[in-house]
Each structure stands twice: as structure tokens, then as C-alpha cells.
Structure 1
Amino acid sequence: METGPQEKRMIHYDLLRILAAFSVVMLHSAGQKWYVLPVTGREWQIADAWDALFRFGVPIFVMISGAIFLNRDSSIRRLYCHNILRLLVTYWIWSGLYGLYDCRNYDLEAAGWKVVAKEMLSGRYHLWFLPMIVAVYMLLPILRSWVKNAERKNLEYFLMLFLILKIGMSTVSALSASYLVEYAAELLDAMEIGMACSYIGYFVYGYYIVRYGIPKKWHRAIYIGVIPCAALNILLDRYLSIRAGEPVGQIYDSYGVFTFVIVTALFLFFTDVMGKVSYSGPAARIIRELSEATLGVYVMHVGLLEILEERGIDTMLLPNIVGIPLMALGCYAACSLLAACLRRIPVLGRYLC
């Protein structure tokens, strides 16, 4: 969600960032009743389908960061003072605010300050993205030096490892619970393969597409592949969840192969097609404003969904095939507006969102 300097920013990545932020709001809106509805029911299957269709957000955020930051020289001092510090402070502020909100009904005298402090440090499940991207940024000087001097085949070797050992293995694990698959997964865990084959894979992948691209002959196949991949995400997770008797969701997570194809198609389309579109001054300003609000949308939307749900306003007020996208659109709009206001608070606004 971090952006580069104003003169270097690319509008097509602003658009892609907006879409990625909306996808995160969409999947969390779909997830409101995901754990409580029976997996054999129509309502759960609709919610799961929306969830499966909008799982591309986090990989897209990481690929945008890789495409921008790995192509740009900056000092370690600036990296820590400008990017890492901001994200850490934002994480601590919102973890604290969510924790205080959770303590609103506590008997504080009986609970004690340690319980309050623990709640404030625990934050919310969706905030995991901020320390994760901070960890990637901490490796940025090393990664930048490597990709700048690496031959293309070295980058492709790294991405092949990512594709096989992370994307491939995650997909196989989701589809099969055999002894051999479990053994392979345990072996990869023992090898600490996640040190290399994690979101850093998506980070480098974004850079690779911008620098080298994907051969034109593959573009149409990738774009067409989005439809069967989306369908397989939906149908396979429905089957796996009914088989397990409970929601599963692993097949379409960030490392699922079908989600990987969708992420590739979106990033390629916005890089190769939308990057060539010219935007008028007013349109560019609106797009940039919405793009600048994406961090705020990310940190705030879960809180807004929870507040509304506590007051009986959730995705089930209407048939959830329309209730989920309407809730997501309303939540996204409200959080974007609030983020635009908070960002304009002197000094503090930068660290709020």
C-alpha cells in the first residue's frame, strides 16, 4: 500500500491498488457469516464463492511494492525512517485502538492493566499484513542488490522454486491429505522453505514482470485462464468443505495455484494494458486520492464491519448474493472518506493511515 514519490507514481498501479483494497474488504464482508453458516447451505456457498473470487488482494499489494521498490534506489536510512517506521507506528496505533475497543465492556479494576495491554498488543487478525510487509522491506537493500545484478535465469530459478515449493505444494496440500503429502509438507517446514518461498516470491515476481515481462504468446492464455481458475476455486472449495463438514478455504488462499493465475492476469493486465492509458487531470487526482486511502481502508474496514454487525447491520439483511457486495461497497466508501480526513491531520495523519 506504500506509494513512491509523486513524480514517479504510476496511475495504473494506483488503480490496481484500489482494486486490491476493495478485494480485501470484499472477502472480509463475505466472511462475516462464513464460519457459522452450514457448508451445505446456499447462503454459505454464495459467501464462499464471493470469498474465493476476491482472494487476490494481498499478493497484488506485495507485487506492486516489488515492482516499485526493487526498481528504485533509496538509502537504508530513508527506508527505515520513511517506510518501515510509518508502517510499524500505524500497526501499533490500530492494534491499540482495536484492543481498547475490545476492553470497553471489561471490569478494568478486576482485569488489570496487563489484560488491557495484552488486548492492545493483540490487535486484529487482518493487521498481520503490516509486520509481514515490514519484514520484506527490511530485506529490500539485499533483494535490490541481488535483482539488479542477477541474470534473468537466476530470477527465473528463484521464481520456479517459489512456484513449485510454495504455490504447488500449498495447492497439493489443500487437495490431498495423504501420508506422502503430509510428509512432504513436514519436510519443507523442516527445511524452513518459507524463508525464501513466502511473500518474497510475490515481491520478486512483481519486479520480474515489470522488468522482463511475460511472452506475448502467453497473455491470451493467462487472461482466458482466469475464468476456469475462478470456477475451480469456487467448486473445489465447496467440495472440500462439504467433505470436511466445515469451512476450509485453503485451496483459494494467496498461495493456491488458481489464485496465482488470477493474480498474474490482473497484474499483467494493469501493467501491459492499463499502463498505456492516459488519464485526465481530474481523473488522475481522484484515482490518486483513492489510492492514498488504501492503507486507511485496510486498517479500518474490519472495525467498521464489526461495529455494524453488532448493531444488526450485516450481509444477511438482504440475500447475501447482493448483500455482500453492497456491504463491501458501503464499507469501502466510508473508510475511504474517513481515511481522506484522517490523513490531513498534521503529523499524526501520516501514521494513522
Structure 2
Amino acid sequence: MNSGKFQVLDEEINYDSQELNEHSINSANININNEDEANIIDTEYDQNNVDESINLRLINDKYDDEIGLSTDAETLQQAESLLPTHNNPPVKKSKRVYWADCARIFSMVAIILLHSSSFDCELRLKLKNDSSWIIICCFNCLTRFGVPMFVLLSGTFILDPSRNFSFKKLFKHNILRLATAFAFWSTVNAVLDIYLQKESPPLLSDEYMIQFFKKFFVGEEYLWFIFMIIGCYLIAPILRLFSDNVLLARYFLGLCVFFGSFIPTLNNFFAAYRYTEAKNELTVWTSRWHYHFTLEFVGYFVGGYHIMKYVNIRSYLIRFSLYLLCIIDVLVLTCLTIHVESPADFKGYSHHFRGTDTLTIAIYSVILFIFFQHEIGRISFSENIKKLITKISALTFGMYLSHMVIKNILVNFLHISQYEFLGMALHPVIGVPLLWIIITILSLLTSYGISLIPVLNKYII
């Protein structure tokens, strides 16, 4: 991951420190050269702008200390004292946001468990009247924060308007890398899928090529993430225009919560409990809006940067209350999901309260993000642990891209699945965790191996 250079008043600043905005700093000049997943912050002062940057003034001290958005004269004095003089050359210092690395690693491991406890395993157990389907359902519900957390983290680093931005870099680096990664892994998945067919067509025949291109352009189901994140990157230049305007950002996030989470959750509730008339009326009402701008993952994308920069909850009581709310939320979404799927006549898979567009998953993901920011961010890691966290975090994208290929190979060639291990029968309650551990280790090793190969390590992971 590449780092950038920027001019800043305080060399101790990082992404979870208190806000020094226009009420606190009149002329601080910040420029960051961004990579889409960069967490490294390199601070360097520009001697030519020191005289302008030192013009600090305090306008208002009415921020709420409980949420950590206050500024005071002491803060400004400390910031000014850190400004270099012409007699003292600036010292370059690097800081890495390790809590974000930890959140990324934790989310990747959760996603692998989610796909190990897949809905078909849950459904298969349910159809056999095996009550252990509830355990698999719990695995599935508990890990649903994974993708939203990835999007929160992506927004954290790409929406900072003080970072240097160019369309050339957006398309040549960020989007090109995602496109080449999709092309490679979609090819691998397509070839493997065709090979595993009972009657696969001859290699390079017309039928083979038709099947290949169908599978290639659509991509394997889990590769939807790449299309989604490219969409977020495409709209990022617009979102950056107001990401540092607290009022506009919160207005936008309010729209996201209402249209992107509350309305879908209400619709799902009516569907789950078969309030057909109410669901139909709500569907008609929402369809007449023709409203799409704040739907799906854009709210997570904007929310990640906003929470990181403007939400610093100092009160332990408030943080504890949020974490308690998160636990209650997870229990509610899990219990509701189990309740909806329990009837014998329910033969499908309930996404009503565990879908990424639901209010329950939004609450879960955002509070977990805050937990990493405030609790994990307070931990002082040793240098060796920091290096390990940095290295594993850099491999998470490669783990995501390769883990379903590895699962497919394990299931079809080595007979390792939720139901067996090297041919020995296993109950899914044991098979799912075992499969999860094996896929996690192998995907990490695969990503690491590719990272050692020049060119490939830049374009396919």
C-alpha cells in the first residue's frame, strides 16, 4: 500500500482524533495522496506555508464533550506548538490506523464463516428436520456485518476531501485494479464451473465458449462485491464534495437510513409475517418515489468516513450503552430469523432481518465499526504485532477473491465440506467450523503466495 504526504498542524493526529475543523483551524492545508486501501498517514510540513498555517482562531466552544467534538484554547495551543520553525526542519512521521486493519481482518474471517455456513447447508438441515439448523443459522446471522464493514472502511480512506484526487488515478489505479482482479478470478471460476459439470463441452468448442462468456461476464455470485465497490468509487468524487460538511453529511446519512434501511426493513417485516396488503401498499408507495440515490451501500461508504472523523465518543457509559444495543440487536435479528424460518411450511431462506439493506444489520455493522475505532484503537500493539497486522490486512482482498475457489476445490476434489472431511462423515455443527478454519488458512496462504509475484500482486489481489 502506498502512503501519501500532507501538511497538518498536529503530527499526532490520526483518523480517530477529535475534529479540528473550520471553527478551530482557519488555514491548515491538508493534502493526502490516496491509495484505495491506504491506512498510512505520513505527515510533513511545508516550510513555505508555515506562516499562513499558524493563523489559528477559536470561534466557538459549544461542542458536546460527550461525543468528543469539542475544541478549546489548549488544543489550539498544543497544535501551534507543534508547528516547525524555519530553524527546525520538519520531521516526517508515519502513523498507521491499526484498528482499521484489525476490523478488515476480522471482517474477512467473518465472511469466510458466512460462506462456510451457507444457506444451502441451513436449508438442507431444516428439510431433514434436524434442529441443528438453528446453530448454522446463528453462524450466518452473526457474520452478516462483514461486507458492510468492508464498505465502511473503504469510505473511511477514499472520501477524505483533503486527499489529492484525480480522475486519472481513480480509473487507472483504483478501478483498473478491481477490473483486472474481477477478470482473473471470474475466468478461474468460469473454467472451474464448466470443468465440474457432469457433461462439460469440449474445450474451446462453441458451446464451451458460450458458457464461458456467460459465466465470465456475470461472475460468480460472491464477485458482486467488486461491481458494488466500483459503483461506490464512481460516485466518490461527488460524495467528497460534502463529506467534510457535517450538516450535509448527516442529512445525507439520514436519507440513507430512512430510504435505504428503514423502508426495506419495514417491507421485509410485512413479507415475513405475511401482512400481504400492507406490503403491497408499501411497495406501491415506495415505487412512486422513483428514488435510488441513497439506497444500498452508499450509506455505509459515506458513514465510514463521517464516523471516523466526526464521531469520537469519550463517555464510557455511552459506548457501553451502544455495545449493549448492538448485542440486543444481534439477538433480535437472530431470533426473528429463526422464528420466521421455524414453520414447517417455510421451505426457503429468510433474509428479512439479516440482509445488508436492513436496519438490524446497519445498526450491527456501524456499532461494531465504532467498537474497533474506540476500543481496539486504544490498544498499544508491539512492533512485531503491528507488522503482522499490517501484512495480514494487505492480504484480505486476495483472501476474499480466492476463498470461494478454494471452497469449490475442497468440496469437489478433496471431499472436505460441511458434511465430510476426506470422505469421513461429519455433522455440519462440526463440519462448518472445520471448513471455515481450512478455507481461512488456505486463502491466506494463496493470497500471500500471489503477493510475492510481481505484476500479479498489483492487479489480481
TM-score normalised according to structure 2 size: 0.72
Residue of structure 1 equivalent to 2:332: 232
1:151-185 CA-partner distances (Å, limit 9, x unpaired): x2322222122112221122222221332333323
Residue of structure 2 equivalent to 1:73: 164
Residue of structure 1 equivalent to 2:447: 339
Secondary structure of the structure 2 residue equivalent to 1:139 = helix
Residue of structure 2 equivalent to 1:312: 415
CA distance 1:19–1:189, shift in 2 (3 Å) = farther
Match of 2:341 among 241, 248, 252: 241
Cα distance between partner residues in 1 of 2:293 and 2:287: 10
Cα distance between partner residues in 2 of 1:173 and 1:214: 33
The answer on whether the counterparts of 1:96 and 1:121 sit within 8 Å (CA) in structure 2 is: no
Q: Which runs of 5+ in 2 are unaligned?
A: 1-34, 43-95, 421-425
- The Cα of 1:207 is off from its aligned counterpart by 1.3
1:171-217 CA-partner distances (Å, limit 9, x unpaired): 22222133233332343345343322221101111111112216546
The answer on whether the counterparts of 1:55 and 1:252 sit within 8 Å (CA) in structure 2 is: yes
The answer on whether the counterparts of 2:259 and 2:294 sit within 8 Å (CA) in structure 1 is: no
1:106-162 CA-partner distances (Å, limit 9, x unpaired): 1233624222222222321000000110111011111111223x2x23222221221
Q: Are 2:114 and 1:27 equivalent residues in the alignment? A: yes
- The Cα of 1:315 is off from its aligned counterpart by 1.8
Residue of structure 2 equivalent to 1:270: 372
Task: Provide the aligned C-alpha RMSD in A.
Answer: 2.1
Cα distance between partner residues in 1 of 2:123 and 2:349: 7
Query: Structure 1 stretch 86-95 or stretch 299-308: which is displaced more?
Result: 299-308
Match of 1:37 among 122, 125, 133: 125
- The Cα of 1:77 is off from its aligned counterpart by 1.4
Match of 2:188 among 88, 97, 116: 97
The answer on whether the counterparts of 2:260 and 2:294 sit within 8 Å (CA) in structure 1 is: no
Residue of structure 1 equivalent to 2:212: 116
Match of 1:187 among 269, 285, 297: 285
1:201-234 CA-partner distances (Å, limit 9, x unpaired): 0111111111221654632221012222222122
- The Cα of 1:323 is off from its aligned counterpart by 2.8
Cα distance between partner residues in 2 of 1:120 and 1:257: 33
Secondary structure of the structure 2 residue equivalent to 1:305 = helix
Residue of structure 1 equivalent to 2:65: none
Q: Give the letter for the 1:102 counterpart.
A: D
Match of 2:226 among 113, 130, 133: 130
Q: Give the letter for the 1:314 counterpart.
A: S
More helix by share: 1
Cα distance between partner residues in 1 of 2:429 and 2:288: 42
The answer on whether the counterparts of 1:127 and 1:299 sit within 8 Å (CA) in structure 2 is: yes
Secondary structure of the structure 2 residue equivalent to 1:193 = coil
CA distance 1:333–1:81, shift in 2 (3 Å) = same
The answer on whether the counterparts of 1:103 and 1:119 sit within 8 Å (CA) in structure 2 is: no
Residue of structure 2 equivalent to 1:4: 38
Residue of structure 2 equivalent to 1:63: 152
Query: Structure 1 stretch 216-225 or stretch 280-289: which is displaced more?
Result: 216-225
Residue of structure 2 equivalent to 1:290: 392
Q: Give the letter for the 1:34 counterpart.
A: E
- The Cα of 1:267 is off from its aligned counterpart by 0.5
Secondary structure of the structure 1 residue equivalent to 2:124 = coil
Match of 2:320 among 199, 205, 220: 220
1:255-284 CA-partner distances (Å, limit 9, x unpaired): 222222221221101111222322222111
Secondary structure of the structure 2 residue equivalent to 1:147 = coil
Identity between Structure 1 and Structure 2 (%): 25
CA distance 1:64–1:38, shift in 2 (3 Å) = same
The structure with higher relative contact order (CA 8 Å, sep 6+) is 1
Cα distance between partner residues in 1 of 2:98 and 2:432: 28
Query: Structure 1 stretch 118-127 or stretch 134-143: which is displaced more?
Result: 118-127
The answer on whether the counterparts of 2:36 and 2:157 sit within 8 Å (CA) in structure 1 is: no
CA distance 1:2–1:322, shift in 2 (3 Å) = farther
Q: Which runs of 5+ in 1 are unaligned?
A: none
1:44-100 CA-partner distances (Å, limit 9, x unpaired): 221111000100011100111111111233222112111111001101111111011
TM-score normalised according to structure 1 size: 0.92
Cα distance between partner residues in 2 of 1:102 and 1:316: 21
Q: Are 2:243 and 1:147 equivalent residues in the alignment? A: yes
CA distance 1:124–1:278, shift in 2 (3 Å) = same
Q: Give the letter for the 2:348 counterpart.
A: E
Query: Structure 1 stretch 58-67 or stretch 102-111: which is displaced more?
Result: 102-111
CA distance 1:347–1:263, shift in 2 (3 Å) = same
Q: Max radius of gyration: which structure?
A: 2
Secondary structure of the structure 2 residue equivalent to 1:138 = helix
Cα distance between partner residues in 2 of 1:290 and 1:189: 44
